């Protein structure tokens, strides 16, 4: 009897060691997303005034997360979303520095594009997994990015604000635009009250930003975590964005 119990404990401990943690799964997918292109095409520039609502399609350059890898992430959804939220918080200083440099460059025509890391693959994970648990971290990041938003800078007025800008990054959108788009997508998946107030096409401006933030704050204030739709709101099959 003792031998059987010992064997069972050994098998259970082996299984626990063998199963990778959500952090390990996420890091493995980010390091090797699974889909690659030898063309390495640069994304098309996006208009400065464009704000794609409810999630955006990334202009992939050299790699993308495959359906198989998305399924691995879905299998540990809660832990993966929490890990993405942690990465958002840890990357905040660099992303804000990058966004500030980019906004100044677009406003004045001076300065260089920052080489600070982007989190676009993490955003794609949140879109696929409906990462509502990461919404507070997204909101914290949004507040910091809003402080250095192009419409908040007292710089020279753009001569042609509707012209396509220079290359922003892997998705062709400003960091602030990306975050606002992901927030709006999560709110729609959660069927947040007032989400029907957001209409496409939307402009990237203070008015639409404030509208999205107000809806998100109300959702967080009035919806208990146990009432989140969370994984139940995921699409049946992952979407390659």
Half-sphere exposure in the Cβ direction for 22 (13 Å, CA): 16
- Tell me, yes or no, whether 45 lies in a domain: no
Flag whether 186 is in a domain. Answer: yes
Does the pLDDT value for residue 60 go beyond 80?
no
Whether residue 163 is predicted with pLDDT greater than 60 in this model: the reply is no
pLDDT value of position 94: 87
pLDDT of residue 77: 98
Say if residue 1's pLDDT is above 60: no
The pLDDT assigned to 159 comes to 47
3-class state of residue 148 by DSSP: coil
Q: Tell me, what's the pLDDT at 35?
A: 86
Cis bond leading into 154, ω under 30°? no
CA quadruple 213, 76, 33, 98: dihedral, nearest 10: 30
Average of per-residue pLDDT across 54-81? 90
As a whole-number percent, the residues of the chain with pLDDT over 90 amount to 56
Higher pLDDT, 85 or 95: 85
Buried b (16+ CB within 10 A) or exposed e, 201-238: ebebeeebbebbbebbeebeeebeeeebebeeebeeeb
Q: How does pLDDT run across 185-214, given as a tens digit for each residue? A: 999 999 999 999 999 999 999 999 999 999
Q: Is it the case that residue 160 has pLDDT exceeding 70? A: no
pLDDT at residue 45 greater than cutoff 90: no
- Please give the tally of structural domains in the chain: 1
Domain that holds residue 71: 20-40+52-233
Residue 12 falls inside a structural domain: no
Assigned domain for 85 exists: yes
In a domain, 140, yes or no: yes
Can you read off the two tokens belonging to residue 1?
Answer: 């009897």
pLDDT tens column, 104-159: 777 676 655 554 556 889 999 999 999 999 999 999 999 999 998 988 877 555 44
What the block records as the tokens of 68 is 């198989």
Is residue 77 in some structural domain?
yes
Residue 71 structure tokens: 């399924």
- The percent of residues in the chain predicted with pLDDT above 70, rounded, is 76
Report, as an integer, the average pLDDT of 32-39.
82
pLDDT of residue 241: 80
Helices 22-31/67-75 angle, 10° precision: 160
At 16 the pLDDT is 53
Average pLDDT value for residue range 28-50: 79
Q: Which residues pair with 35 in a beta bridge?
A: 64
User: Is residue 95 domain-resident?
Assistant: yes
* Amino acid 217: pLDDT: 99
Residue 5 lies in a domain: no
């Amino acid at each position: 009897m003792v031998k059987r119990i010992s064997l069972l404990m050994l098998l259970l401990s082996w299984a626990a060691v063998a199963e990778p943690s959500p952090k390990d799964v996420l890091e493995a997918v980010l390091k090797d997303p699974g889909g690659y292109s030898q063309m390495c095409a640069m994304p098309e520039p996006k208009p400065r005034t464009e704000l794609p609502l409810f999630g955006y399609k990334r202009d992939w350059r050299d790699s993308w997360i495959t359906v198989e890898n998305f399924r691995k992430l879905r299998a540990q959804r809660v832990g993966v979303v929490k890990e993405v939220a942690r990465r958002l918080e840890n990357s905040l200083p660099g992303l804000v520095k990058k966004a500030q440099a980019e906004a100044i460059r677009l406003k004045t025509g001076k300065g260089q594009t920052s080489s600070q890391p982007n989190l676009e693959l993490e955003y794609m994970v949140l879109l696929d997994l409906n990462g509502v648990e990461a919404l507070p971290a997204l909101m914290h990041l949004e507040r910091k990015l809003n402080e250095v938003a192009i419409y908040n800078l007292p710089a020279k007025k753009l001569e042609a604000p509707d012209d396509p800008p220079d290359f922003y990054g892997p998705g062709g959108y400003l960091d602030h635009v990306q975050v606002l788009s992901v927030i709006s997508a999560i709110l729609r998946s959660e069927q947040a009250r007032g989400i029907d107030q957001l209409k496409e096409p939307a402009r990237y401006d203070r008015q639409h930003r404030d509208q999205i933030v107000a809806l998100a704050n109300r959702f967080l204030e009035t919806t208990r975590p146990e009432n989140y739709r969370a994984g139940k709101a995921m699409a049946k099959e992952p979407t390659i964005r």
